[in-house]
Amino acid sequence: MIKAAIFDMDGLLVDSEPFWRDVEIDVFRTVGLEMDDEMCKRTTGLPTDAVVRYWYEKHPWHNRSIEEVGAEIIQGAYDQIGKHAEAMPGVPEILELFRQQGIPMAIASASPIHLIEAVIDRLNIRSYFALWHSATLEKRNKPHPDVYLGTARKLGVDPAFCVAFEDSGNGLKSAHAAEMLTVAVPADYEFNDPKFNIATLKIPSILQFNLQVLRGLENELPINSTLR
């Protein structure tokens, strides 16, 4: 049986990716790097420090430190997401589903704790979760399994009895490495990317996740199942 449901946050529970991209474009411009949405999508799902290092290696700059750029991106995202972001379609329904089944829920995010809390308060979903955990508090961020293993440990649940929901390839690698059941919910532009083939189940929207699908997962759906 599934004993816990663990959710990624950005792009999965909250429609925050457009805000991250807008902030990245503005901040990288201060170091002479002109970005667009397509360039930003290359690093979707990576921790902010990894995003900054990725672009610094490709287009080095000298007027600001990597740490300063990363901190400004995080602060800008915090401001915009906390004020304007909305829940992804299907979020109220899936949270109610797990609550009705008596299955505890948690968040395992690459974002800092203060941003996680800003989001759950913005969406008014704090009461659904037993806890939330940030990969920034672990030794290694996603795609390593640390944040999922840490979340399962805090819940007191064996990772093998957890189902993890992820929208990014790096996040999926993290949950998969933790040996959890995984549900991938990729964005439209990368739904058919092979990096999502490791998921137990792939769906285009969490609106499609219902009690019947939950029961299928508990009966060990075959790897690479896809619902459209």
Average pLDDT on 26-43 reads: 94
Only one residue has tokens 């430190």, namely 65
Are residues 198 and 138 part of one domain?
yes
CA torsion through residues 164, 166, 170, 173, sign = positive
Quickly state the pLDDT bin for 47 (edges 50, 70, 90). confident
CB-based contacts of 35: which residues, under 8 Å, 6+ apart? 24, 25, 28, 29, 55
Q: What are phi and psi of 31, to 5 degrees?
A: -110, 20
Give the residue numbers spanning the domain of 132.
4-14+86-226
Annotated catalytic, 167? no
Are 95 and 203 in a shared domain? yes
199-210 pLDDT, tens digit each: 999 999 999 999
Q: What is the CATH number of the domain that holds 29?
A: 1.10.150.240
Task: Give the CATH number, domain containing residue 107.
Answer: 3.40.50.1000
10 and 57, same domain (yes or no)? no
Q: What is the pTM (predicted TM-score) of this model? A: 0.85
Is-contact 13 108, C-beta < 8 A?
A: no
pLDDT tens digits along 142-174: 999 999 999 999 999 999 999 999 999 999 999
User: Are 78 and 90 found together in one domain?
Assistant: no
My answer on whether 78 and 168 are in the same domain is no
In sequence order, the 6+-apart residues with CB closer than 8 A to the CB of 189 are 41
Look up 8 and say whether it is catalytic: yes
pLDDT confidence of residue 44? 85
Q: Which of 123, 154, 140 is nearest to 47 (CA)?
A: 140
Name the catalytic one among 10, 49, 146, 167.
10
Shared domain for 175 and 139, answered yes or no, is yes
34 and 117 in a common domain: no
The residue count of the chain comes to 228
Which listed residue (8, 49, 146, 167) is catalytic?
A: 8
Both 93 and 165 in one domain: the answer is yes
Q: Residue 136 gets which letter from DSSP?
A: G
* pLDDT at 53 > cutoff 90: yes
Closest CA to 116 of 127, 104, 124, 107: 107
Q: What is the mean pLDDT of residues 95-118?
A: 95
Q: How many independent structural domains does the chain possess?
A: 2
CA angle centred on 71, ends 12 and 153, rounded to 5°: 50
Asked whether the beta carbons of 43 and 35 are under 8 A apart, the reply is no
